Amino acid sequence: MAQAEDVATDGAADNEILVTATKRAVSVQDVPLAVAAFDGDSLEKTNAIDLTRLGNIDPGLQIQSKGAGDNQIIIRGIQSAGASLVSVYMDEAVVTGSDFNGSGGRQSSLPFYDVERVEVLKGPQGTLFGSGSMAGSVRVVANKPDLDEYSFKMSGSAEGGSGTNGLYELYGVANLPIVKDKLGLRVTAWDVDGGGYLDREASSSPADAKNTNDQHVKGARAILRWDATDDLTLTFTGLTQKLVVDDVDYYMRSEGPYVIGTPTLGGWDETDHLASFVGEYKLDFGTITATSSYYKKELLYRSDTTYITKLFDLPGGYQINEGQNRSIWSNELRFASDFSGPFQVVAGLFYEKDKDLSQNVIGHAAADGNLPCELYEDCAALGLQSELLFSRALQHNVEQYAVFGQADYNITDQLTFTAGIRYYTGKLDWMEYSNQSLRLPDSPIQTAPITTLDDQSTEHNTSYNFSLGWRPTEEVSFYARAASGFRLGGINSLSSRQLDPTVPVGYDSDTLWNYEVGAKFALFDRKLTIDTAAYYIDWSGQQVSQVTSSGITSYIANAGTSDVKGFELSFSAKPVAGLSIGGGFTYTNSKLTEDQPLADTDPAAGHKGDHIPLVPKWSFSGQVGYEVPVGSDTVYAQTSFNYRGRAYTDFNENGLYIPMEAYFRADASIGLRHDRWDVSVFVKNITDKAAQIGVVPLTGVVPDGEASVTTIRPRTFGVKLTAGF
């Protein structure tokens, strides 16, 4: 599905949209799957400059957010505990998030500054993108260096409103052709500061503080492109970003919007680094591509945990610090054909090694609302082990090998059959260390780490993709597709099993089959485009989160089957000169098709017919833009809006079954564009509603229905200035 503005690429015939969803640049009309593609200009016009805001303009992409840097991506209603179900790529580099709490979250908020396009691939993409792509993939394609001309661009904005701190955003781009037609460098840098809008009440720490969740983001990306020969192109990319949030990004449901109300402080401190290489060698009959990337993420997350420690009759004021040190080394070698006949193929080899170290400590916070130390090593070095109630570390390593291939055969000039397969081997290594077992009053202080779990497993799986595409005219195409996907299993932590002996040691892969039919129309010289798709998904062995009998912690189990029925439609229209209209809607009906284990005795277990949590039935979005020339300048106006229906946080009515309320939000801007500069004024969240974009139920000593709720900023007004040459 090509939504919003057309994504045109050099070399596209008749202004057709080219995408690389199949790892070959082909017309979106010829891609037999649903693809939402957004170019850089349309992303900037609608302020969709990161994952969370991308969900505002694509109704088929839902972001369950726990705050900046902690996002879970949901496509087509496929959502559950366990590893991520949607893979994320920056060009060819894997940057998919991982959350040891088992929610498929912690997807970093890497921004979309200076990008060529973003592609949202809907439905399983396992044959070409691997095990993390069971529900779909998101690909961010950056602008590459121009080897011919120098160019520079700066953009800055300032905004504020009642109940918020000022938010200031600045980014710049420099394109430098070092050796004309041979070597070029493109550098992008950004700085975002402020924007806090959550308050702390008198009972929290610090007390009576306003707008405590300011963000501080600094980052840069450099891309070096070398056309070594007419046939060989080498591209090197480096990216770094530092994200700090001064407090948690959620309020407590019992307190109402914008009030945190926890006894201890919180915060988010994340550093991301990415280095990648892409080599492309063109042959007379195709292209060989070699890629290698290394992504590293370091995180410290602080939040209140008093509601858990009260289970042990301990006083209030306990904080949990969670650390994550994650790295992904991914490599791929593939061949994409350009044969003269009716047969084309993409085939390759893939290797990836993920290392993920997660640590947490729980202790009594000091007067400033924070623990006096960060993680266990820091606490031990300062001699503060006595401050810790609990501390553990989890080392989770996954090594993946895959071979894949996908072939297209033109049965006629109008009819194409596609078949793809990926064979995968995954080796899982899991170790758990106890630095301080749960220490109740009069318990001893642990003086050395103890290895409590050392386990390994190996899995093999296969993904398939079959489709039939029919393009009777240049303006119309139809397709039918059947594709499978899977997600690697895992091992439950020993601490969960110690608290409840019924917790299983591990859980298996879950798998699904996606069946869909679609139609794509590009009419009136592309002045009207319409994309539609209807799908049915059969999901088995679903990985779900279960709460231990003590209510203290959770674990993952395979629990039954689900199916998803849905329909998607998107369109873009340019009915008259200067006017552009775009939008779309989705309908998603996702249900369990059988009772989960323990459904007769556990009130939180799902029953046949229960809806999958966090998935609304209806969503829609729209964008309207109009521009008119005034002398040598252009005056323009733009508005965008989106709606998400009500969803719930669990399968059925119990203490964890909390509504995630429906919401409607809208933004608007008006501006003046000159040859080299652009100035606009804007308003965000016009209706000034506290839209709920993330709801997480709490367990422990809390009333039923308590949850942390992530919301958007109140209404803000701002100004933006962009200049370039």
Q: Is the pLDDT of residue 225 over 60?
A: yes
Q: Two tokens at 336?
A: 């994409």
**Confidence at residue 430, expressed as pLDDT on a 0 to 100 scale:** 87
Four-residue CA torsion sign, 135, 6, 671, 642 = negative
CA-to-CA dists, residue 557 to 69, 427, 432, 457, 560, angstroms: 26, 19, 19, 16, 10
- Mean per-residue pLDDT over the chain, rounded: 89
List, in order, residues 6 or more apart from 192 with CB less than 8 Å away: 167, 168, 169, 170, 215, 216, 217, 218
User: Going by DSSP bridges, is the β-strand pair 250-252/34-39 parallel, antiparallel, or unpaired?
Assistant: unpaired
Q: Is the pLDDT of residue 700 over 70?
A: no
As a three-state string, the secondary structure of 245-293 is: ECCCCEEECCCCCCECCCCCCCEEEEEEEEEEEEEEEEECCEEEEEEEE
Residue 282 within a domain: yes
Residue 8 within a domain: no
CA-wise closest residue to 299 among 64, 431, 108, 449: 108
Distance CA 214, CA 600 (A): 46
Four-residue CA torsion sign, 198, 203, 209, 213 = negative
Distance CA 397, CA 392 (A): 17
Distance CA 236, CA 253 (A): 46
Q: Is the pLDDT of residue 392 over 90?
A: no
Any idea of the CA torsion for 70, 589, 78, 643, to the nearest 10 degrees?
-30
Rounded to two decimals, what is the model's pTM?
0.93
* Cβ contacts of 678-681, under 8 Å, gap ≥ 24: 678/720, 678/721, 678/722, 678/723, 679/719, 679/720, 679/721, 679/722, 680/636, 680/719, 680/720, 681/717, 681/718, 681/719, 681/720
**Confidence at residue 13, expressed as pLDDT on a 0 to 100 scale:** 42
Other C-beta atoms lying within 10 Å of the C-beta of residue 411: 12
**Confidence at residue 550, expressed as pLDDT on a 0 to 100 scale:** 63
List, in order, residues 6 or more apart from 207 with CB less than 8 Å away: 200, 201
Q: Is the pLDDT of residue 202 over 80?
A: no
Residue 269 within a domain: yes
Distance, CA of 9 to chain centre = 25
CATH number for the domain spanning 165: value is 2.40.170.20
Q: Is the pLDDT of residue 74 over 70?
A: yes
Region of poorest pLDDT, from 66-70, 226-230, 512-516: 66-70
**Confidence at residue 102, expressed as pLDDT on a 0 to 100 scale:** 44
Arithmetic mean of pLDDT, 86-100: 86
Contact predicate 167/132, CB 8 Å: no
Q: Is the pLDDT of residue 271 over 50?
A: yes
**Confidence at residue 643, expressed as pLDDT on a 0 to 100 scale:** 97
Q: Which amino acid is at 624?
A: V
Supply the range of the domain harboring residue 674: 13-724
CA-wise closest residue to 715 among 691, 670, 684, 669: 684
**Confidence at residue 310, expressed as pLDDT on a 0 to 100 scale:** 75
Structurally, the chain folds into a number of domains equal to 1
Arithmetic mean of pLDDT, 97-119: 77
For the stretch 643-678, pLDDT in tens is 999 999 989 888 788 999 999 999 999 999 999 999
Region of poorest pLDDT, from 55-59, 171-175, 218-222: 55-59
Arithmetic mean of pLDDT, 59-80: 91
Q: Is 227 helix (H, G, I), strand (E, B) or coil?
A: strand
CA-to-CA dists, residue 102 to 284, 461, 491, 584, 598, angstroms: 47, 21, 11, 31, 20
**Confidence at residue 11, expressed as pLDDT on a 0 to 100 scale:** 41
Contact predicate 212/266, CB 8 Å: no
Contact predicate 54/47, CB 8 Å: no
Region of poorest pLDDT, from 204-208, 481-485, 592-596: 204-208
H or E segment and range at residue 38: strand 34-39
H or E segment and range at residue 118: strand 115-122
**Confidence at residue 14, expressed as pLDDT on a 0 to 100 scale:** 44
Residue 1 within a domain: no
Contact predicate 487/132, CB 8 Å: yes
Residue 543 within a domain: yes
For the stretch 598-646, pLDDT in tens is 777 677 788 899 999 999 999 999 999 999 999 999 999 999 999 999 9
Q: Is the peptide bond before 206 cis (omega within 30 degrees of 0)?
A: yes
Residue 424 within a domain: yes
List, in order, residues 6 or more apart from 284 with CB less than 8 Å away: none
CA-wise closest residue to 303 among 261, 255, 247, 359: 247
Q: Is the pLDDT of residue 253 over 70?
A: yes
Residue 5 within a domain: no
Of the chain, the percentage scoring pLDDT greater than 90 comes to 63
For the stretch 300-348, pLDDT in tens is 999 988 877 777 777 778 899 999 999 999 999 999 999 999 999 999 9
CA-wise closest residue to 719 among 686, 689, 690, 679: 679
Q: Which amino acid is at 58?
A: D
Residue 24 within a domain: yes
Q: Is the pLDDT of residue 3 over 90?
A: no
List, in order, residues 6 or more apart from 622 with CB less than 8 Å away: 581, 582, 583, 584, 640, 641, 642
